[in-house]
Structure 1
Amino acid sequence: MPVEEQAVRVTIELKSKSDFCSFLPPNPGDNVAATETRGKPFCTKVNLSNEGRVFPAGFIRSAHYVETSNYVQVTGRMDRSKYKLKSSDGGGQYDHRDVDNVTCNGYKYWVNMLEPDVNQYCIRCCRNQKDCNLGISTYGCKRVVPGDYS
């Protein structure tokens, strides 16, 4: 009888403005919306995810960290050219409904958006599902994950 493969749980961490992860398309230059079910975590340091990918040098331009009793988030600016993302890419949303077997700071709820056209990103890990705004990705980071995007 064939042995079923057990899906490996992916873990990512958001610890500070210099220690965090975000999902990116699986390959440089891929369209964000077209890869919403296949995103891969990249981090500022290897040990922040069991996937071990690090952001390309210069990709993260700014990061603003917020922690509450219900969620933790990082918002900021990126340089899309460092991962060959296109200026015409309006972005998309990676979240716990589309990318299976991911925990973010130990929480099962999370939402992560990339907007290459305006060079911004956001990620929020939530204790409760109601604290992660899903299904409104067309509104963009500033509405889905309010925060500092300077």
Structure 2
Amino acid sequence: MSLVSLLLFLGILTSCGRAQTYSATYLPSNAPDHTQNGQYGTNQCGTQSNQDSLCQNAYLNSVDDFCLFAPPYSGPNATIGDTERVEVSWCLRDGYGTRLIPDGTITGAHFVETPDYIQITGVGDLTKLNIPAGDNGGELDPHGADGNGNPIGGLVFSSAFGQLQQLHEWTNYMSAAEFCFRACKPGPEATTYCQHIYDVMGCEWNMPGDYDSGVFDRCSGDSGEPMGVYGTSTFKQGQSTTPSAHPAPATSMCTTYSSVGNGVLLARNLSGNASSASTTNSFAMPSLAPVTNSTGASATPLPTATHATIPASGTPSATGYSREASGTVGRTHVDTLWQLLVLLGAALVGMSFCF
């Protein structure tokens, strides 16, 4: 039996008689220092924001309360493709122990809450988050090529569905000028609406919605069509013909804002009444290579590697798939053997539920 056949057989055994379910594992208050081996930053972030933070907890709550994953240091090797394993959290609000998104970075943002997921889309000068100018970016997600996240140890939390909880399925595309971040409600549809297999397709193909500059709003919306699903057919990345993006799902009950800033919001309700004025904070962005992590050890940047570009139009890059899609990130024969042993153990546990 080939290795692929054996892995498939073990996967079937482990799923025997049981639906795949997802439940919250951590809260920010009880997360360990590291949640995955090889993690660059930390999940014990405290509440004091600072621009050298290595916190890897992200929050997705509203148009004025969200975070983005972006590089911890600047420079030509700080592209999303080069730093996908070590990204840190940058947030609009203080109090999470993360870095703050500098005022003026976000020039348009659109938050949508649907029955199945929450999503923020927008544009801005994301070079202020250490992304090099001109970087077409890439995808970040909780799985990666080897089962660890991009970034390793990145956690996403939200209170949009009720009490604050960890959302296990999410996907975040970042470039120097555009961002989109979706996190799915825990349940059987989480992996359907938060796919992570279309990593060269870009924001507007994966998360059709509003990317207008100069507009900031929060809306309710329909879930729309899952990524890559067209009726009874499912598109596979790399096929000769690429279908058009789904139309943006309908939205309603929108509240508009005049701007968003790092902890200070200029809001107006639907009648157009403005609130208090914003203050502007200025930060000198660090250029740290290497960076000292929370344990005091030196963590050097990842070496330059070929990565796929993510065009804003949603057309796949001519350079091919990203490192994640090709599965070449640090994989060795030893890794494969170890994964096989883990799967074998999982199969034995799964069989105990089947018989």
- Is the pair's TM-score, using the shorter chain for normalization, greater than 0.5? yes
Higher relative contact order (CA 8 A, sep 6+): 1
Structure with max Cα Rg: 2
Please, which moves more after superposition, 8-17 or 56-65? 8-17
Partner residue in 2 for 1:104: 157
Partner residue in 1 for 2:334: none
Tell me how far apart the structure 2 counterparts of residues 101 and 90 of structure 1 sit (CA, whole Å). 21
Q: Could you tell me how far 1:19 is from its partner in structure 2?
A: 1.0
Q: Could you tell me how far 1:88 is from its partner in structure 2?
A: 2.8
Aligned length: 142
Task: Kindly report the root-mean-square deviation, in angstroms, between the aligned alpha carbons of the 2 structures.
Answer: 1.9
Please, which moves more after superposition, 84-93 or 17-26? 84-93
Identity across matched positions, percent: 30
Gaps of 5+ in 2: 1-31, 36-42, 44-55, 144-148, 159-165, 213-355
**Matched residue SS, 1:86:** coil
Q: Could you tell me how far 1:34 is from its partner in structure 2?
A: 0.8
* Structure ranking higher in strand proportion: 1
Partner residue in 2 for 1:125: 183
**Structure 1 segments of 4+ aligned residues over 3 angstroms from their partners:** 8-11
Tell me how far apart the structure 1 counterparts of residues 195 and 124 of structure 2 sit (CA, whole Å). 22
Partner residue in 1 for 2:65: 19
Gaps of 5+ in 1: none
Question: What is the aligned counterpart of 1:7 among 34, 38, 45?
Answer: 34
Is contact 2:69–2:87 with CA below 8 Å preserved after alignment? yes
Partner residue in 2 for 1:39: 87
Partner residue in 1 for 2:197: 135
Q: Could you tell me how far 1:46 is from its partner in structure 2?
A: 2.0
What is the one-letter code of the residue matched to 1:102?
A: L
Is contact 1:59–1:78 with CA below 8 Å preserved after alignment? yes
Tell me how far apart the structure 1 counterparts of residues 79 and 203 of structure 2 sit (CA, whole Å). 17
Partner residue in 2 for 1:93: 139
Q: Could you tell me how far 1:84 is from its partner in structure 2?
A: 4.7
Distance change (3 Å), C-alpha of 1:27 and 1:139: same
Tell me how far apart the structure 1 counterparts of residues 112 and 74 of structure 2 sit (CA, whole Å). 28
Tell me how far apart the structure 2 counterparts of residues 7 and 144 of structure 1 sit (CA, whole Å). 30
Is contact 2:70–2:131 with CA below 8 Å preserved after alignment? no
Q: For residues 51-94 of structure 1, give each alpha carbon's deviation from its aligned partner in whole angstroms, at most 9, with x where no partner exists.
A: 42111232111110001121111000011342353333110111
Partner residue in 1 for 2:324: none
Whether 1:60 aligns to 2:106 is yes
Is contact 1:62–1:76 with CA below 8 Å preserved after alignment? yes
Is contact 1:91–1:115 with CA below 8 Å preserved after alignment? yes
Distance change (3 Å), C-alpha of 1:101 and 1:90: closer
Is contact 2:139–2:199 with CA below 8 Å preserved after alignment? yes
| TM-score of the pair, normalised by structure 1 | 0.84
What is the one-letter code of the residue matched to 2:207?
A: V
